[in-house]
Structure 1
Amino acid sequence: MLTQTLKTLALTATVALAAGTASAQVQMVMSNDNNNKGLKGQTFDYLTAQLEERLGDKINVEMHHSGTLFDQQSQIQGLQLGGTHIISPTAGIYSTVEPKVAALQLPFMLNTPEKIQEAVADPTIREAIMPGLNNQNIEIVAVWMNGPRDLGYKGQNPILLPGDAEGLKVRVQSAPIFVKTWEAVGANPVGINWSEAPTALQQGVIDAGEVTPNSWRGSSTYQFVDHITMTDHQYSFYLVGANKQWWDEMPDDVKTEVQAALADATEWNMAKNTEINGSAAEYIAGEGVGVHYLNDEQRAAWAEAMKPVWAELGNELVGDEVMDRLKSIAGVN
């Protein structure tokens, strides 16, 4: 049923694009798998405003939030088939079509927005990862930040060391980088959509989740946990992907303005990232959730426990040369 729906959407998108070409209006359908309250949703809305301001009636923008068009599981296929033209999933989600993307989200590796931007722009790293996405009809056109991923959970006692997470049922996105990261500390990762997390927490399907402060607050899911430990085990970011065929066929004058709008939205996103996540953490603490910060010794223990993932989803996938570049940019050994 899903495949048939995607094929129908792809056909509709192709017809719309052809009609748009005839009328000199580009059709742009954007799909956000998350809500419009968090940082990503706000960045999408900022981008929409920029596109409409820059291009006027040269473009018709449809913005779909909260997974109403495609959710976390279906958005990659939706993009490939042309049911949407722009998506912005967490980077690791792309590993379903290009496993090498996982190297960009190795735990305790690229831990700042600046390091992430440098790594994605690095020629050696791009040469190893981007052709695999291009071959799947995906063009990466921007990088947006989300924030540090932190562990929220139900329970009386705070989780401060990796051993405390033994047996914990943690909601993760269904991609190897997230699954393997939590398996490394003895947790039981459960792959479900974030929109399902509140119900899953209430029903005991999961004990915990690991998303950014702005995602905990934006979705109101913080209401269903007792504690959040600021593990900062991964710095979550989004790879803004375009349907490559649609992107390549876009008129040059329109593409120039779309790229400028994307650059503006990226700059806005970078500027707001720290502010929004910081205020979200303060708000959540004010609502009575225990917010815990790790000391240096505790953080080192988490990093050491998760480090084996580097070999499995780093060296084995992208090779030693790319890993050396990642480590150099990250400033780690």
Structure 2
Amino acid sequence: MFTNPIKASCLAFAVVAATGAAAQTDIIMSNDNNEKGLKGQTFDLLVTELENRLGDRANVEMHHSGTLFDQQSQIQGLQLGAVNIISPTAGVYSSVNEKVGALQLPFLLNTPAKIQAAVADPLVREAIMPTFNDQNIEIIAVWMNGPRDLGYKADAPILLPSDAQGLKVRVQSAPIFVKTWEAVDASPVGINWSESPTALQQGVIDGAEVTPNSWRGSSTYQFVDHITKTDHQYSFYLVGANKAWWDSLDDDVRPEIEAALEVATDWNMSQASSLNDGDLEFMAGEGVKIHDLTAEQRAVWVEAMQPVWQELGTDLLGEEVMTRLKSIAAAE
């Protein structure tokens, strides 16, 4: 039950604003991450674009660092209309749409272009998006984060699935992340990323699998010896709007929001690769050993992930959609 009085007051305010006589459109946005990272910067660019395009026709509110809703509560806040736009990682949405995990199947869609192609594909969209709509969520953009890489404390590098056996890996508590590491007999541990530095120091976990910008931005790289560029999943954010709010926008307002989103999304896409490459270079300079996988080693990982592809891909979406995803993944 949604009972937090502060968040309830936000909901009441949103309802009054939507039904009152004022012509202003309220655009309330929540970022579960900090404003310095790639997502925070993308949100801030979106704010600038919205204010420039809509002027006094809109009241734009931006809440960073989970100050309005955190990673877990933001979905409910969006559904209830207490916030208009959020941008969680795709895995966070699995609580309301388990099919979305197929877009993060390990060692499948490994570049921003392939993720964008999959989300835009009519067959894939028809398999995944209606469930969001049924949950009062409209997906309005896709923002990139970076490749998820395995960082860990160990004497020797992890280059093959067998090397990860028994490794205690911090993951987000979503099936796609948990089952990925269970497939190689590792021990996934679902804890908040903010708790990971302490967990590494205390031996609760041996490593984690996040993007280079997350490793560096949180300074958690200081507590690991190695980072293997597994690039097993390309982490991205699904920008979601409250569907009832989105559908109610005036015809002269929604196109401006869409245009602002396009500018922010294009900038986000242009920054993801260079940002993460620079972070890997920085961490190598700080003494973290960075390892690449050979084509042969990567093939062994891909083979180990076939049960995950079956369970969270074919079994949920069907053979036709899974074949389409494989085709998109194979494209140059």
Query: One fold, TM greater than 0.5?
Result: yes
Unaligned runs of 5+ in 2: none
| Whole-angstrom distance in 2 between the partners of 1:101 and 1:115 | 15
Question: What amino acid sits opposite 2:325 in the alignment?
Answer: L
| Whole-angstrom distance in 1 between the partners of 2:9 and 2:289 | 47
Shift of 1:150: 0.2
| Whole-angstrom distance in 2 between the partners of 1:29 and 1:208 | 36
**Structure 1 segment 215-234 matched on structure 2, within 5 A:** 215-234=214-233
Where do 4+ consecutive residues of structure 1 move more than 6 Å? none
Q: Which residue of 1 aligns with 2:16?
A: 15
| Whole-angstrom distance in 2 between the partners of 1:204 and 1:13 | 45
Q: Which residue of 1 aligns with 2:151?
A: 152
Instruction: Note the alpha carbon deviations across 1:120-158, whole angstroms, 9 max, x for none.
Output: 011111111111000001000001111110011122222
Q: Which residue of 1 aligns with 2:210?
A: 211
Q: Which residue of 1 aligns with 2:275?
A: 276
| Whole-angstrom distance in 1 between the partners of 2:138 and 2:168 | 35
Q: Secondary structure at the match of 1:231?
A: strand
Shift of 1:10: 2.5
Q: Which residue of 2 aligns with 1:102?
A: 101
Q: Which residue of 2 aligns with 1:324?
A: 323
Q: 1:199 to 1:82 in 2, by over 3 A?
A: farther
Shift of 1:271: 0.8
CA contact (8 A) 1:7 1:81 kept: no
| Whole-angstrom distance in 2 between the partners of 1:155 and 1:9 | 47
CA contact (8 A) 1:185 1:305 kept: yes
Shift of 1:211: 0.9
Shift of 1:195: 2.1
Shift of 1:43: 0.9
Q: Which residue of 2 aligns with 1:263?
A: 262
Q: 1:3 to 1:159 in 2, by over 3 A?
A: farther
Q: Secondary structure at the match of 1:253?
A: coil
CA contact (8 A) 1:30 1:63 kept: yes
TM-score, structure 2 normalization: 0.95
| Whole-angstrom distance in 2 between the partners of 1:192 and 1:29 | 28
Q: Which residue of 1 aligns with 2:138?
A: 139
CA contact (8 A) 1:86 1:243 kept: yes
Q: Secondary structure at the match of 2:70?
A: coil
Question: What amino acid sits opposite 2:209 in the alignment?
Answer: E
Shift of 1:8: 4.3
Instruction: Note the alpha carbon deviations across 1:80-116, whole angstroms, 9 max, x for none.
Output: 1122111111112211111111111111111111111
Farther off after superposition, 297-306 or 236-245: 297-306
Q: Secondary structure at the match of 2:296?
A: helix
Q: 1:324 to 1:221 in 2, by over 3 A?
A: same
The RMSD of aligned alpha carbons is 1.6
Instruction: Note the alpha carbon deviations across 1:293-315, whole angstroms, 9 max, x for none.
Output: 11112111111112210000001
Unaligned runs of 5+ in 1: none
TM-score, structure 1 normalization: 0.95
Q: Which residue of 2 aligns with 1:122?
A: 121
Shift of 1:202: 2.3
Question: What amino acid sits opposite 1:324 in the alignment?
Answer: T
Q: 1:190 to 1:8 in 2, by over 3 A?
A: farther
Q: 1:12 to 1:200 in 2, by over 3 A?
A: farther
Shift of 1:325: 0.9
| Whole-angstrom distance in 1 between the partners of 2:293 and 2:71 | 30
Question: What amino acid sits opposite 1:17 in the alignment?
Answer: A
Q: Secondary structure at the match of 2:61?
A: strand
Q: Which residue of 1 aligns with 2:49?
A: 50
Q: Secondary structure at the match of 1:167?
A: coil
Farther off after superposition, 209-218 or 192-201: 192-201
Size of the aligned set, in residue pairs, is 330
CA contact (8 A) 1:71 1:193 kept: no
Q: 1:58 to 1:196 in 2, by over 3 A?
A: farther
Instruction: Note the alpha carbon deviations across 1:242-296, whole angstroms, 9 max, x for none.
Output: 0111111111211110000000111101111111111111111111111111111
CA contact (8 A) 1:149 1:231 kept: yes
Shift of 1:324: 1.1
